[in-house]
Amino acid sequence: MLDPDLTKGRRFVDAHAPPGRLLLCGVTGSHFYGFPSPDSDLDLKGIHLAPTAELLGLGAPQETFDRLLVFEGLECDYTSHEARKALSLLLRGNGNMLERILSPIQLQATEELRALQALARATISKRFASHYRGFFQGMCREHDRSEAPRAKTLLYAYRVALTGVHLLRTGELVGDVNETAPRYGFEAALELVARKRDGEERVVLTAAEDATHRGAWPALEAALASALEESTLPDAPDNAAEPDAFLVELRRGAIEH
């Protein structure tokens, strides 16, 4: 397996800290999706708590912090959201926020990590269906606009649809397409995984290969639709008040210290 360089990732985050205390930082992207190539970048997605002074003054805290840099020879794509925005997005069914919190690859084991993960699991509902359907359709459009048919965008389409299908059917977040593709009858995706893992980030396919994998798009969209129709998940999160209470306690603790 092409494991992410977590030691270098920690050095990068230390050198480019968000404006506040970091609560978690998950590895997402191709390492989380199960198809990194030797030249893949490191996708780091965090949640931070703004300094109390920024909440009490006239200004508003910085809600989103971004850095895209080559660090010690490795491209690092880093985004962190302030806790209020992060938890609000989570409750609205934002899959990107769910994935950064529940990613099995975390840079730091903070005191808040387990609590945030428990909150995230309890928010899983049918609201996330819109995110995964929209993301899937967006990846199909991006692939259509590409100058050349690339394995990466096709894999993203497989991955996001199958993550959504699995989430709606089981209530479990699984980002790795190597697990979801064979489970739901899309083994052909594994051919693309092998090509990308053994090659480069921008592997180009033949027209025939491209047509084969594009042919899976209607079935993927149908799988998402049926998963939502048959889902036993609640329509909305059962724990809507808990993230608010959690954030209040974090703010109070920051004042006391």
Q: What is the pLDDT of residues 142-152, one digit of tens each?
A: 999 998 999 99
Phi, psi dihedral angles at 42 (to 5 degrees): -110, 110
HEC letters along 222-255 = HHHHHHHHHCCCCCCCCCCHHHHHHHHHHHHHHH
Q: What are the pLDDT digits (tens) for 54-64?
A: 888 877 888 99
Please tell me the distance from the alpha carbon of residue 137 to that of residue 122, in angstroms, as a whole number: 27
Are 123 and 244 spatial neighbours (Cβ–Cβ below 8 Å)? no
pLDDT for the residue 1: 47
pLDDT at 116: 97
pLDDT of residue 133: 98
Percentage, residues of the chain above pLDDT 70:
98
Determine the pLDDT at residue 151: 92
The Cα–Cα gap between 127 and 115 comes to 21
DSSP summary character for residue 124 = -
- Would you state the pLDDT for residue 189? 96
**Contact (CB, 8 A) for 165 and 227:** yes
In angstroms, how far is CA 194 from the centroid of its own chain?
22
Q: What pLDDT, on the 0 to 100 scale, is given for residue 257? A: 60
pTM of structure: 0.94
Below-70 pLDDT ranges, the chain: 1, 200, 256-257
